[in-house]
Amino acid sequence: MAELFLIAVGLSMDAFAVAIAKGLSMKKVNIRDAALVGAWFGLFQGLMPLIGAFLGTRFLDKIKIVDHWVAFGILAAVGGNMIREAFREEKERQEKEKEKKAQEHKMVPENDQPGADLRFSTMLLLAIATSMDALAVGITFSLLQVKIVPAAVCIGCVTFGISFGGVYAGRFLGEKAQKGASIAGGVVLIAIGVKILLEHLGVLG
């Protein structure tokens, strides 16, 4: 359960970063909007592992000999990509900050800015984009024979809570928290992948 919770936290960091951006873009944060953001991200983060596990079970017999190596590879790749994206997006955030200042000079209402867009189409795309890592981890769960339904529910609930808090955090922590969240999530996933591999090799009991 502890490992599952850490995986859930790691996976939710992308959603947390986006939730922070949403909070930054809102003139005033309220419970309804924060819950809406949390519900979108929590639902898809919980759904994707189910899909991934279904896909993984179809190939389980073919890769069972190297299943722990595959699990390690997936978690390391997902975690490494989160860290890489965190550094790459730093420059993009600086450019957005310049655009934001320009909008402020034009007196554009903050809740009309793109970052505060909570429309169905926008949130659907964001929810899918931030949950693709969970799809890959769902494949890992099938290899490790994790009970997928409780795991998916756990991931969904953790993501909801963290995303909900992320909207509020955006008003207080600022954009720097986005980078830290993605890096922390990536490190957690890589560390768990290494632990799984070391246990398989007998290095850890």
Does residue 25 carry a pLDDT above 90? no
- 174: CB partners within 8 A, 6+ apart: 24
Name the phi and psi angles at 117, rounded to 5: -70, 115
Report the sign of the C-alpha dihedral through residues 40, 181, 73, 65, in that order: negative
- Share above pLDDT 70 across residues of the chain, in percent, rounded to a whole number: 80
Lowest-pLDDT choice from 32-36, 53-57, 89-93: 89-93
The length of the chain in residues reads 205
Q: What are phi and psi of 175, to 5 degrees?
A: -70, -25
Summarize the chain as % helix, strand, coil (round to 5).
85, 0, 15
Q: What pLDDT score does 44 carry?
A: 96
Q: Which residue bears the tokens 């309804």?
A: 32
User: What residues does each domain of the chain span?
Assistant: 2-201
Instruction: Give me the mean pLDDT over the 134-161 stretch.
Output: 91
Contact between residue 187 and residue 9 where contact means Cβ atoms under 8 Å apart: no
- Greater model confidence, 196 or 51: 51
Q: Which helix (H) or strand (E) holds 65?
A: none
Please report the sign of the dihedral spanned by the C-alpha atoms of residue 158, residue 44, residue 131, residue 18: negative
Q: How confident is the model at residue 190 (pLDDT cuts 50, 70, 90)?
A: confident
pLDDT for residue 152: 95
Higher model confidence: residue 175 or residue 37?
37
CB 22 within 8 A of CB 118: yes
pLDDT at position 67 = 67
Task: Tell whether the model's pLDDT for residue 34 goes beyond 50.
Answer: yes
Model-wide pTM > 0.85 = no
pLDDT at 196 over 50: yes
Confidence of residue 156 (pLDDT cuts 50, 70, 90): very high
pLDDT of residue 122: 86
DSSP state of 118: -
Cβ contact 177:20 at 8 Å: yes
pLDDT tens digits along 13-22 = 888 888 888 8
